């Protein structure tokens, strides 16, 4: 039982970190696009 709970916590943490990374990449890509549009 304890091992299953630990695995669930690990999966939740990994999912949260992955979602945060994806959000950061999306925001960065949007800002880069806006910057490029302003420059060009």
> Comparing 6 with 39, which gets the higher pLDDT?
6
How close are the terminal C-alpha atoms of the chain, in Å? 58
pTM of this prediction exceeds 0.75: no
The pLDDT assigned to 12 comes to: 97
Whole-number Å distance between alpha carbons of 27 and 17: 15
Encode pLDDT of 1-38 as tens digits: 678 899 999 999 999 999 999 999 999 988 877 777 76
The pLDDT assigned to 6 comes to: 93
Q: Where are the domains of the chain?
A: 1-39
The pLDDT assigned to 40 comes to: 64
The pLDDT assigned to 24 comes to: 95
């Amino acid at each position: 039982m304890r091992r299953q709970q630990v695995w669930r916590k690990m999966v939740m943490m990994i999912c949260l970190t992955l979602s945060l990374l994806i959000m950061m990449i999306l925001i960065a890509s949007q800002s880069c696009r806006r910057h490029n549009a302003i420059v060009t």
